[in-house]
Structure 1
Amino acid sequence: MPNGLGNFGSLLETFLPWLGVSVPILLVLAVLRRSATATVAVLFSAVIWCSLFGATLADKRTGSDHLPVAAALRL
C-alpha cells in the first residue's frame, strides 16, 4: 500500500493482521445475501490472510519453559 496523504499505507500495514477479524463477518453477510461471487471472494481473502498470518497463530512452544538469562561478569 503506497504512503500517500498522512502515511496511511504504513498505518494500514500496522493493522493488517487485525483486518482478518472482518473476514468471518463478511462471510456471514455473503451467505445471508446468497451471493456466490461474494462468498468466493471472501473465501479467497480468508485463504490469502491465513497464508500470510496463520503461522503467527500456531503454538510455537518447543517444550522448554525456561528463560535463559545472560549476566555480565565484573572482573
Structure 2
Amino acid sequence: TLIYQPSGCGEQNMIHMTLPVIATTYLDKTLQWEAVGLGKRNEALGHIKTGYNNELAYRKNDGSFAVWASHGSS
C-alpha cells in the first residue's frame, strides 16, 4: 500500500510522506478513490499532515532541514 503513516528520521519521514502525496494526487486527478475506498482519502490526508508536522522537528533556525534533529542541516 502507498498510504501509511510517515515516521523515522527526517529523510525517512520525507520518503514515507511522499507516497501518500503521490497516491492522493493520482487518485484525485483520475477520480479513482472509490476503487480503494473513500475513507482512504481522509486517511492519506491525515498521514500527509502528520508527516509534515513530523518534518518540522528537523527544521533549523535558518529554514534548512536536517536528517536528525540534533545535527546540522544537510
What is the TM-score normalised by the length of structure 1?
A: 0.38
Higher RCO (CA < 8 A, seq sep 6+): 2
Q: Which has the higher helix share?
A: 1
Q: Which structure has the bigger radius of gyration?
A: 1
